[in-house]
Amino acid sequence: MPEAVSLVLALLVLAGTLAAAVVHSRWPVEALVAAGGAALLVAVGTLSVADARHALGDLGPTVGFLAALLVLAEGCRREGLFDAMGGLMAAGARGSPRRLLALVFAVAATVTAVLSLDATVVLLTPIVFATAARLRTSPRPHVYACSHLANSASLLLPVSNLTNLLAFHASGLSFMRFAGLMALPTAAAVAVEWMVLTRFFAVDLQRPRRARTGDTERPELPRFALAVVALTLAGFGLSSVLGIAPVWVAVAGAAAITAPALARRTTTARTLALAAEPSFLVFVLGLGVIVRAASDHGLADAARALLPSGVALPELLAVAAVSAILANLVNNLPATLILVPVAAPSGAAAVLAVLVGVNIGPNLTYVGSLATLLWRRVLHVEDHEVELGEFVRLGALTVPAGLILATVLLWFSAQGLT
């Protein structure tokens, strides 16, 4: 098959797979399309069986890692960790919307970094919404904070974002080194969010209100869940010292938080299997094979032409910008799969710059990419459309500043890197 035909075919399958994910059906259509598309590319010889197996082998541990993290987060929810955090935020706010926002920042950044952005988006955001409602204050700034921090704070650890997991192996860094290099960039990205959101919502945050009493009862934090999370984190940190792959630490954490619940029969094997999002895992594997086929037949060359090589500051800034743009056009998952292998030869700093771009970039759109956004608007999926002006303005205020600051600090942190 001519090279051009192979590329077109692979790109068509990729587009179809992303479209299936964007359409967002109730059924796991995207998993079927991704798996079918990958199989098709192998069947017609666009990708050899050996290459496909290789791609799956690369992704396997990452997908297992993700499954373990999803089960761990679900375990934390089951143990009441998120409800307890809602109670703590309500009590700590002492009736002040601004203090509540500060607590939401602290909690959302921590949950994102430790339990991944999925946990913030799916598990924490409803709790924050309910907490604002309980305090009888406008939920708007707090919901925006969750939505933005799920992306901005997801730079810190390899486990904070699936994009990081996908790039972690290619970066060649240990868990601690990754965290060390990303600490300042994450702090900068979160600081930018705080500066912008507190100003943007200044009026919502200081509406004159009468001090309220009550609601100050501090809930007990579930110690068991906290201990498991803390030990898992410690295990991640020590993994390179002990010579264990971090994925096993995540598996141990997931097992530790699940075993007692299984024994007590407060959860079932079926529930657990669903918590691991099997259809999504299939989708990621299929997407990885499809992107591999497209990359092998010219997509990687195209990306190489766009992405500057080198790890000096101007190159890193360009890498972050290109990554952010691609993440907004499609979604940060395919963007990561396409860009990381291209950036990897330039070194760890370049890989991390890709992550800065694909993680902070999606804040320009609240649904993850322009494609998703436009499609949803075309279909009028939502009863109540978010005012485009508001979140685009907020994205425009936070994303470029966050990208630049985070990349500069990444460059600074990576100075010692050889």
- Least Å distance, CB 280 to another protein, is 4
Q: Residues 287, 333: contact at Cβ < 8 Å? A: yes
- Least Å distance, CB 321 to another protein, is 20
- Residue from 79, 118, 296, 315 that binds another protein (CB under 8 A)? 118
- Least Å distance, CB 344 to another protein, is 23
Per-residue contact string for residues 65-84; x = within reach of another protein by CB under 8 A: -----x---x--xx---x--
- Least Å distance, CB 73 to another protein, is 8
- Residue from 6, 147, 171, 232 that binds another protein (CB under 8 A)? 147
309 near another protein (CB under 8 A): no
The pairs formed by 205-211 with CB atoms below 8 angstroms and a separation of 24 or more are: 205/97, 205/98, 205/101, 205/141, 206/97, 206/98, 207/97, 207/137, 207/138, 209/95, 209/97, 209/137, 211/95
Residues 246-305 that bind another protein (CB under 8 A): 267, 270-271, 274-275, 277, 279-280, 283-284
CA distance 9 to 145: 41
- Least Å distance, CB 301 to another protein, is 26
Closer to another protein by Cβ: residue 202 or 312: 202
- Residue from 10, 113, 114, 144 that binds another protein (CB under 8 A)? 144
Residues 34-53 that bind another protein (CB under 8 A): none
Residues 193-212 that bind another protein (CB under 8 A): 202-203, 206-210
* Length of the chain in terms of residues written: 418
- Residue from 13, 67, 101, 127 that binds another protein (CB under 8 A)? 127
- Least Å distance, CB 408 to another protein, is 26
Residues 322-351 that bind another protein (CB under 8 A): 331-333
Per-residue contact string for residues 218-247; x = within reach of another protein by CB under 8 A: ------------------------------
96 near another protein (CB under 8 A): no
Closer to another protein by Cβ: residue 7 or 229: 229
Residues 349-388 that bind another protein (CB under 8 A): 362, 365-369, 372, 376, 382-387
Closest C-alpha to 40, from 68, 10, 81: 10
Closer to another protein by Cβ: residue 290 or 333: 333
98 near another protein (CB under 8 A): no
- Least Å distance, CB 107 to another protein, is 15
Residues 151-180 that bind another protein (CB under 8 A): 151
Size of the site for another protein (CB under 8 A): 72
Q: Name residue, tokens 């101007």.
A: 314
